[in-house]
Amino acid sequence: MIASVILPLIAGLLCFLFNRRTFIIALAATLANFLIASFLLYQFLIFGPMRCYIGGWQPPLGITLRTDGPALLMLLITAVTGFAVTLYARGYFSHRISDPVRVGRHQRQQRYFWPLWMLLLAGLNGLFLSGDIFNLYVTLEIIGISAASLAALSGKPASQRASFRYLLISLLGSLTYLLGVVFLYRSCGVLDLDLLRNFAVNGSGMHAALTLLTIGLLLKTALVPLHFWLPPAHANALAPVSVILSALVVKGSFYLLFRFWFETFASIVTTQALNFLGTLGAIAILWGAIQAIRQQRLKLMVAYSTVSQLGYLFIAFPLSKAAEGAQVWAIVIFMALTHACAKSAMFMAAGNIYLHLGHDRIKDLSGVRASLPITVFAYGIAGVSLMGLPPSGAFIAKWMLLSSSFASSQWWWPLVIVTGSLLAMVYVFRVMSRFFVILETDTLKNPVPLSPLLEWPALILALISLFLGLLAPWPLHILSRGSMTLAQTFPGGLP
Amino acid sequence: MLFLFLVFCLTVALGTILCSSSGSISGLASAVARLQEQSGVESPVTAVLLNFRGYDTLLEVMVLLLAVISVWSLTKAPVSRQKAEISPVQMGVVRLLAPVMCLVAAYLVWQGSHLAGGAFQGGAILGAAGVLLLVSELDWIRTVPAFAIRIGLILGPVVFTGTALGCLFYSGELLAYPEGMAGWLILLIETACALSIGLTLALLFGGGRPEDDVPEGDIP
Amino acid sequence: MITTLLYSLTGLILFAMGLFTLIIHSHPLRKILAVNVMATGIFLILVATAYIPLGQGEVDPVPHAMVLTGIVVSVSVTALALIMACRVQETSNLAILKGKKKVKNTQETET
C-alpha cells in the first residue's frame, strides 16, 4: 500500500536528478502505479478493507494508511488517467519541440513537467490512502504546490497571473483546513480519522472544526461562489496540465470533503448544512453551464464545464438521507470517475485542436473533422458522457440522484439536474457543430500530422467514461464491501 | 466594510469556542511519554517528528524539494552583469562566519536527539550560511555544475526514503526502525536532511535555476 | 490557564487580520505577507494547545511537531509565491494584481 506513495516519490526524485531520460522513468512509474492500484483492488476484493500502520505505531500516536472501496476506486481512476496523461504529455512535448519556434521554452517545460507531475501523483495517492487528518494536510499542500507550479509552466503572462492566484487560493484553503485541524485537536486530542469518528459528538468545537475544514476544502474544489480561480488557471495551462488539474486535483479535495461529511463526522452534520451545500451545487451547475455557453474559446468553455460538473457532485449531499447505504457513495464515485475520464478526453482533444490549428477560437474551428477524425470522435463521446446519456457513468449517477430525490419528494433537484444536462448539451453541440462545417476557404496553418500518442489516449479515456455505466454493478459491489468497521489490519505492510 | 464585519463575527465566534474548549483534553502527551524509550531519542519532539510520525516528515521534506523544483521551473537565477564591489569587511566577516555557522548547524543536528534541535533547525542555519555566501557573490558559486546541485538537493529525501524502505524490508513496516538502531538511523536521516534543507533554503534565496539545468537538443 | 487563552486568542486575531488583508488588499507582496501572518496565527494557537500545567507531566509534543511541519511548508510556499509574484510583474508589467473582471476581459488562452 505504501508503494503507491513511495514509488511516484522516487520517480519524481529520479526525474529531477536526470534531465535526459525522464520519460522512461515516468512511464514506468505510472504503469507500475496502475499495476499496484489493480493489485490493491484485487486484495480488497479478497480480504476487505485493510489498514497499514506506518512504523508499527498504532493510533492515536502513529499514522495509518487505509483502503476501502471508494479510496481504491479513486486510486484506480487516478492511475488510469495518470497513465493516459503521461502518454499524452510525451506526444505533446515531442510535437512542440519538433516545431522550431520557441524551442527553448518547450524544453524547459518538458524538463520540469515530469518531476512535478510525479510528485503530484505521489501526493494524490497519499491523499486517497491516508487515515490521519494532519497527514492529509501535508498531502493537500503537496498537491497544491505542484498543481500551481504546473499551471505556471507555460510561461505566458495570463498563466502566470492565473497560477499565482491559484497558489494563494490553495494556500488560503490549506490554512483554513489547518485551523479546522487545530480546533479538532483541541476538542478531541487525536488525529486519526477512525478515532475521530468516536469523538464526533455535537458540540460547538466540533461544528466549528467541520465548518473550517469544509470551507478550506471547498476553496480547493472550486464550488460556487469560490470558483473564480478555476477557469483562468485551467484554461491557460498547457494541455496535459489542464487534464491533470481538471480531472484529478479537484477530485482529491472533493473526495476528502465527502469522506469527512459522510464517514468521519457523519453524526454531527445537520440537514440545513446539507441543503446549503446542495443549493450551492445547483447554482454551480446552472452558472457554470451558462458561462460555458458564453465562451469564445474552447479551453475556457471546457474549464467552465468543470465548474458546472462539480456542482452535480454536491447535489448528492442533501439526498444522502434518502438514499440507502452505499448509494450516496455510488452516486458521487460514478460522477467523479466519469467526469475524470470525460474531462481528460475533452481537454486532450482541445489541446490537439490547438496544436493542429494554432488557436482555439470556437467560431473558427471549421473543418477539423476532416483532419482530426479521432480527436473529434473523442470529443463527441466525452461530450455525451458529460451530458449524461446512457450508458455513461454519469447517466447512472444522475439516475440515482433522480430516483432518490423522487423518493424523498424533493422535486426541485431533478429540475436542476435536467436543466443542467440540457445546458451541457448546448455547449457541447455548439462546438461539435463547428467541427462538421467545412468552408471552401479553409487552409490549415500547421498541417503537421499529430502523433498517435496525442489522439488515442483521448479516445480511449472517452470510451472508458462512456462504458462505465455498463460496468456499473462492479463498482457498486466494491463500494458495498467497504465498511471500515470490519477492517482487517495488515501490520505487515502491503507492498 | 461588509467583509470586515464578517471577519469580525467569525473571530468572535471562533474565539468563544476557543475559550470554552481550553483545558479540557490532554492530547497525546501521555502516549508519547509512555513510548518514549522505544523511540531511540530523548527529545519528545524529535521522537514524534522522526519516529512516530516520520511519514509526515518524509512528505514535508518532499515539499521543500517541490518548492525548489517549482522555482527552478519558473525562472533562471538572476546574474548581475557587473561585478559588485564587495567590501573587505564583508569578505572578512563571511570568511569567519560561514565555517562557524556550519559548525553550529552540525551541533544543532547532533543536539536534536536530546534537546531542542534537529534537521530543520540545523538546516535553517546552513541555509543562512548559504545565503551569506550568495550575497557575497563569491566566484566559485556560479561554477558549481547543476548536476552536483541536484545531487545535494535530493540527498536528504533519498536517504530518508532509502532508510524507510530499508526498514520496510528489514522489519516489514515502513519506518519501523530495528531494535537499538533507531537513534543512529534517526541521526543519519537528520544529517542528510539538514544538508539538503540548507541547500534548499539557500537555493530558494538564489531565486532560479542554474544555467546548465535544462539540456539543449531533443530530450528523449 | 489564562496565559494559554491569551496566546490562543492572539493567534486567532492574527489569523483574522491576515485573512482580511489577503482578501481586501491587491498588492501581491501584501497578500503573501498576509498569508504568513495567518500561518503564524495558527501556529500560535497550536503552541498554546501544547501547554500542560506544571506538575502534570511533559509538554505535549505532537502540536510542536505540527508547528514544525507547518513552518517548513509555509517557508516553501512563501518562496514559491514570491518568485511567482516576480514572474507576474515581469510578464505583465503589473505591480498590482487586477480584480477578476479585468482579467477576464483580457484573457488569452494558451495550451
Enter the ipTM.
0.92
pLDDT for the residue numbered A199: 77
* Cβ–Cβ gap A239/C31 under 8 Å: no
* Among A residues 451-490, those touching chain B with beta carbons less than 8 Å apart: none
In this complex, the residue of B55, B157, B168 whose CB is nearest that of residue A135 is: B55
Give the residue numbers spanning the domain of B121: 52-75+88-209
Contact A119, A138 (CB under 8 A): no
Q: What is the mean pLDDT of each run of 10 residues along chain B (220 residues)?
A: 82 80 64 75 84 90 93 83 78 90 92 84 92 82 83 90 87 78 87 93 87 62
Q: In this structure, how many other beta carbons lie within 10 angstroms of the beta carbon of residue A426?
A: 13
Residue C42, pLDDT above cutoff 90: yes
Task: Please give the residue of chain A at the shortest CA–CA distance from B178.
Answer: A55
A143 vs C12: CA distance, rounded Å = 26
Instruction: Tell me which chain C residues have a C-beta less than 8 angstroms from the C-beta of A235.
Output: 107, 109
Cβ of A126 under 8 Å from any chain B Cβ?
Answer: yes
- C77 CB within 8 Å of a chain A CB: yes
3-state SS, residue A53? strand
Residue B9 CA to residue A403 CA, distance in Å, equals 40
CA distance A335 to chain C (A): 26
Nearest to C77 by CA among C47, C44, C35, C25: C35
Cα(A63)–Cα(A131) distance, integer angstroms:
7
Do C12 and B70 count as a contact with CB atoms less than 8 A apart?
A: no
Strands A488-489 and A50-53: parallel
Global confidence as pTM:
0.91
Residue C28: count of CB within 10 angstroms of its CB:
23
Distance from CA of B108 to the nearest CA of A (A): 25
B101 CA to chain A: closest CA distance, Å? 28
Give the domain ranges of chain A: 3-489
- The dihedral built from the CA positions of residue C78, C79, C80 and C81, taken in this order, carries a sign that is positive
Given a contact cutoff of 8 angstroms between Cβ atoms, the answer to whether C86 and B208 are in contact is no
Interface contact C92-A157, CB threshold 8 A: yes
Contact C69 A355 (CB under 8 A): no
Q: Is C101 on the interface with A (CB under 8 A)?
A: no
Match 461539435 to its residue by C-alpha cell.
A432
Residue C62 has pLDDT above 50, yes or no: yes
Output the pLDDT for position A486.
31
Contact: B74, C1; criterion CB under 8 Å: no
Q: What is the pLDDT of residue A442?
A: 57
CA B109 from chain centre, in angstroms, equals 11
Asked if the C-beta of C77 comes within 8 angstroms of chain B's C-beta atoms, the answer is yes
Q: Does C70 touch chain A (CB under 8 A)?
A: yes
For A102, the 3-state DSSP assignment is coil
Q: What is the pLDDT of residue A137?
A: 95
Distances (CA, A) of A230 to A66, A156, A222, C85: 31, 17, 7, 18
Q: Residue A50 pairs with which residues in a beta bridge?
A: A67, A488
Q: What is the CATH number of domain C2-105?
A: 1.10.287.3510
Residue C103 has pLDDT above 60, yes or no: no
User: What is the distance between the alpha carbons of residues A99 and A389, in angstroms, rounded to a whole number?
Assistant: 39
Chain A partners of C66 at a C-beta cutoff of 8 Å?
A: 134, 181
Predicted local distance difference test score (pLDDT) of residue B26: 62
Nearest partner of C35 among C17, C8, C53, C60, judged by Cα: C17
Evaluate the CA torsion angle B197, B149, B157, C70 in order and state its sign: positive
Count of structural domains, chain B:
1
Contact B63 C72 (CB under 8 A): yes
User: Chain B within 8 Å of A338 (Cβ-Cβ)?
Assistant: no
CA A353 and chain centroid, separation: 23
Nearest CA in chain A to C85: A164
The three three-digit cell numbers of residue A476, written as one number: 457498486
User: DSSP class of residue A50?
Assistant: E
- Kindly state whether C49 is in contact with chain B, defined as any CB-CB distance less than 8 angstroms: yes
- The shortest CB-CB distance from B207 to any of C57, C75, C83 is to C83
> What is the per-residue burial (b if ≥16 Cβ within 10 Å, else e) of B116-125?
ebbbbbbbbb
- For residue A323, what pLDDT is reported? 56
Check CB contact of C45 with chain A, cutoff 8 Å.
yes
Cβ–Cβ contact C62 with B under 8 A: yes
What DSSP state is assigned to residue B144?
A: S
Q: What residue segments make up the domains of chain C, in order of their start?
A: 2-105
| Ranges of chain A whose pLDDT falls below 50 | 483-495
Cβ within 8 Å, pair B51-A56: no
Comparing CA positions, the residue from A333, A337, A341 lying closest to residue A480 is A333
Alpha carbon of C81: minimum distance to chain A alpha carbons (Å): 7
Site from B3, B17, B169, B179 to mutate, A interface, most A CB atoms within 10 angstroms = B17
The bridge status of strand A64-67 relative to strand A50-53 is antiparallel
* Interacting residues of A245 by C-beta distance below 8 A, sequence separation 6+: A147, A150, A151, A233, A234, A237
- Which residue in B28, B32, B75 is closest to C83 by CB distance? B75
Report the alpha-carbon distance of residue A128 to residue A76 in Å, rounded: 10
| C8 touches B at CB < 8 Å | yes
| Residues facing A67 on adjacent strands | A50
Of B56, B67, B208, the CB nearest to C80: B67
Chain C within 8 Å of A138 (Cβ-Cβ)?
yes
Pairing relationship of beta strands A488-489 and A64-67 according to DSSP bridges: unpaired
Chains that touch A (3 or more CB pairs under 8 A): B, C
In A, minimum Cα distance to B71 occurs at: A149
C-alpha B153: how far from its chain's center? 10
CB atoms within 10 A of CB B133: 17
Q: What is the pLDDT of residue A410?
A: 75
What is the CB neighbour count within 10 angstroms for residue B77? 16
d(CA A10, CA A25): 10
Q: Determine the residue of chain A that is closest to B70 in CA distance.
A: A149
One-letter amino acid for residue A342 of the chain: A
Q: Does residue C107 or residue C92 have the better pLDDT?
A: C92
Which value, in Å, is the radius of gyration of the alpha carbons in chain C?
Answer: 19
- Whether C48 has its CB under 8 Å from any CB of chain A: the answer is no
B4 in a structural domain:
no
Nearest-by-Cβ selection for A172 from C22, C85, C94: C22
| Partners of residue A115 in chain B, C-beta under 8 Å | 69
- pLDDT confidence of residue C110: 39
End-to-end Cα separation, chain C, in angstroms:
57
Q: Could you tell me which chain B residue has the CA closest to the CA of C65?
A: B49
| Predicted pLDDT of residue A209 | 87
pLDDT over 50 (residue C58)? yes
Using an 8 Å CB-CB cutoff, list chain B residues near C71. 120
